[in-house]
Amino acid sequence: MAKVITEVSQESVEAAKMVEIKHTRTMQDASGKDVEVLDFQESKPLDAAIEDAEANKARLEARLAEVDAELVDLNAIKDA
């Protein structure tokens, strides 16, 4: 799932910056052409979006470490 992230313009400079995140995916239309479809859209403060992205990155890095360990175990069995 792809994301399109843009800054939301605000009249007040003092207000926290906001971002709009559009969650999209690619599908095929009736003629077989790829089209991008909007699943949903959300607006959130920039700081919260950064925190969410960092948490997601940490979760993915932990999962990658698990998969790397699994591959080591599987390759050890294969080579035995």
Distance separating the N- and C-terminal Cα atoms of the chain: 39
pLDDT at res. 5: 83
C-alpha–C-alpha distance, residues 76 and 2, integer Å: 36
Whole domain around residue 24: which residue ranges?
A: 2-79
Determine which helix (DSSP H) or strand (DSSP E) holds 71, and give its type and residue range: helix 46-79
Q: How many structural domains is the chain composed of?
A: 1
User: Mind listing the pLDDT tens digit for each residue in 7-61?
Assistant: 887 776 667 889 999 999 999 999 999 999 999 999 999 999 999 999 999 999 9
Question: Both tokens of residue 10?
Answer: 């605000």
- The DSSP 8-state label assigned to residue 9 in this structure reads P
Judged against a pLDDT cut of 80, whether residue 73 lies above it is answered with yes
Contact (CB, 8 A) for 21 and 49: yes
pLDDT at res. 1: 67
